[in-house]
A = this chain, B = another copy of it.
Amino acid sequence: MEVRSYSGSMNLKAERGAATRDQLLAIATRLFAEHGYEGTSIEAVLQESGLSRGALYHHYAGKDALFEAVLEATEAGIGVKIVEAVAGITDPAESLRSGVLAWIRLAGDPVIQRIVLIDAPSVLGWEKWRAMEERYSFGMLKAALRATDAIPAGFLDLHAHMLLAAINESALLVARGGDRETAEAAVEEFLRRVLRSH
């Protein structure tokens, strides 16, 4: 999980608060990933953290807000890693390909599978879920797709959505014991077909 360095720039109180939030976030991330949203009790998070209910509810409005914070942090982490993966690649199609493959590999992480791909839509509700995807994976994919110039402007948004859904599905399949090499080859082929301009 995230490591912040507050010391110096912040005062003691804010520092302690932020540290507590980070601790709760780290524990909640692990538990949500292991047992899902429903299967994780606030009780369990409290027990592992050694904090009181009051402390948790002081920092997060409720179980769903805690999940949302976990999701946000996870998505942000993914974004950073994908940006790293495509850094320095200038060709748009190649950049898209690399980013997609990087994402599939990242999705091997059970934390990402469970939290981002499975629980998020039902816990956040579709609207919030859409908004968050817009800020992260979807936004990136759409930009990359636009750069390739392979999709007519009128279809760009919808094609980006469909492509992301397709890729996420592949990521899940790989994550659940599917053969990674075959899946990656299939995704590349799929991408090629969608991008090919006639």
**Interface residue ranges, A against B (CB under 8 Å):** 36-38, 113, 118-119, 121-123, 125-127, 130, 152, 154-155, 158-159, 161-170, 172-173, 176, 178, 182-183, 185-187, 189-190, 193-194, 196, 198
Contacts and interface: CB of A to CB of B under 8 A. Distances in A.
* Assembly stoichiometry (copies): 2
B122 A119 contact: yes
A194 B190 contact: yes
A125 to B, nearest CB: 8
A122 B33 CA distance: 12
Contact of A165 (B166, B182, B186, B193): B166
Contact of A196 (B38, B125, B190, B196): B196
A187 B152 CA distance: 13
Nearest to A189: B155
B190 A159 contact: yes
Nearest to A174: B158
